[in-house]
Amino acid sequence: MKTKRIHNFNAGPAALPLEVLEEVQETFLNFSGSGMSITEISHRSKWFEDVINDAVARTQRLLNLNDRYHVLFIQGGASLQFCMIPMNFLKDGESADYVNTGTWSTKAIKEAKILGKKFNVVASSEDDGFSYIPKNIPFNADAVFCHITSNNTIKGTQWERFPDTGKALLIADMSSDIMSRRFDVNPFGLIYAGAQKNIGPAGVCMVIVRKDMLEKVPGNLPSMLKYTTYAESNSLYNTPPCFSVYVIQLVLKWLEEKIGGLAKMEAINQKKAKLLYDVLDAGGFYRGTARPGSRSMMNVTFRLPSEDLEARFVKEALENDLGGLKGHRSVGGCRASIYNATGIDGIEALVDFMKVFEKKNG
C-alpha cells in the first residue's frame, strides 16, 4: 500500500527529497552490503568513511570550494556555533561586528556577550520588526570577522547580496538557505548550517571553515569546542551523528545528480518563490511581512485580515494535505517554508488553495 504523503511546509525539521527518503528506506536494514543498518555500523569503518568523504567532496563541488576550506560535521546544531565562533576566533582585545536581522542573529549576539567578548552591532532591522535587510552598513576596519544570518526563517527575510566587509572575513549562519543558490565563497571565513532546514535531518551542523582561520584557535579550549579538533580528525574525533551525515550525503547527491547543481536549484527556487509572492501581491487579503528587496526564497511569511482567519487557514490547509503553515509562535501569522525539497507541485497546490480560501473568506 502506498504511503500517504502531504505537502510539507514545515520550517525545520523540514521536507526531504522523496527520492532520498526512499533510498534511506531501501538501505536501512542492510547498508552497502554490510548486513547492518547505517545506524549500527562503526564510524571508524570504511563504509562510513566513504559516506563522510563523499559528503565532503560533493559539498566542495557544489559550492566550488578550493583547497583553502575544510568541510566539517559538528553536533549541537547552529546554536552551538553561536558560542564556538567567538570562543575560537576572538582573542582578548579583539572585536567582531554583528548584523542583527532577527531571532537567530540575536541569539548569536547573546552568546558573544555571555562570553565577555568585544563586539559591535553595526546594523539592525529591529526598528521595523526585522522586516528588512540593512544596507550601507558601517563595518569596522579592525573587526576580526563580521557575522550575518543569511536567511531569517521567522521573519522571512534574506540577503539578496552579501555585504562588502572590507578586510574582515564574513561569517554566516546559512542554516536555512545553504545549497539553495550560487554565491562566491571567497569573502567567507566560516559558514555554518544546521542541517534540519535545507540539507538533512536534525542532529548535525555543517561547518565550512577557511584553513587559515584555524591558526587563531586557542589551545586551551575544551577539545569538543575547538574547530581544530574536527579539522584534524575529518569530523571523526568522537562518534558523529552517522545517520544525519548519511542523509546529507544523499541530499547532496540528489542536488548534484538529479537537480543538476546549484544554478538549476536556484532557478527552481526563484520560480517557486515568485508563484507565492505573486499571490501575496495580488490583492489585500494576504499581506507579506517582509519588505520587497529583502524577501526570502526559503520562508514566505504572511498575514491574513484576522487571527481567526489565520487559524482557519492553517486548519483547512492541513485538511487539504498542506502542512506546516502556521507561523512561528513568537510572531504568529502564516509561513510557507519552501526549501529545496519542496517541489513546484506543492507550491502550485498551495497557491490554488490560497485563491480558493480568499474567494470564500475575502
Provide the pLDDT for residue 207.
98
Integer angstrom CA distances of residue 211 from 66, 207, 236, 324, 344: 11, 12, 18, 39, 38
Peptide bond into 305 cis (omega under 30): no
Q: What are phi and psi of 265, to 5 degrees?
A: -65, -40
Shortest CA distance to 226 belongs to which of 105, 85, 362? 85
On the question of pLDDT at 1 being above 90, the answer is no
Tens digits of residue pLDDT in 184-197: 999 999 999 999 99
Q: Identify the bridge partners of residue 121 per DSSP, sorted by sequence position.
A: 98
Region 117-121: what's the mean pLDDT?
98
On the question of pLDDT at 232 being above 80, the answer is yes
Residue 157, classed as helix, strand or coil, is strand
Provide the pLDDT for residue 269.
98
Active-site residue set: 104, 173, 197
Region 154-169: what's the mean pLDDT?
96
pTM: 0.97
CB-CB contact of 312 with 353 (8 Å): no
Residue 284 confidence class, pLDDT cut points 50, 70, 90: confident
Tens digits of residue pLDDT in 286-339: 999 999 999 999 999 999 999 999 999 999 999 999 999 999 999 999 999 999
Strands 205-210 and 188-194: antiparallel
How far, in Å, CA of 224 to CA of 80, rounded?
11
Q: What is the DSSP string of 279-306?
A: HHHHSSSSEESSPTTSB-SSEEEEE-SS
Region 89-110: what's the mean pLDDT?
97
How far, in Å, CA of 70 to CA of 189, rounded?
11
Where do the domains of the chain lie, and which CATH numbers do they carry?
21-259 (3.40.640.10), 261-361 (3.90.1150.10)
Alpha-helical runs (H) found in 66-219: 77-89, 103-114
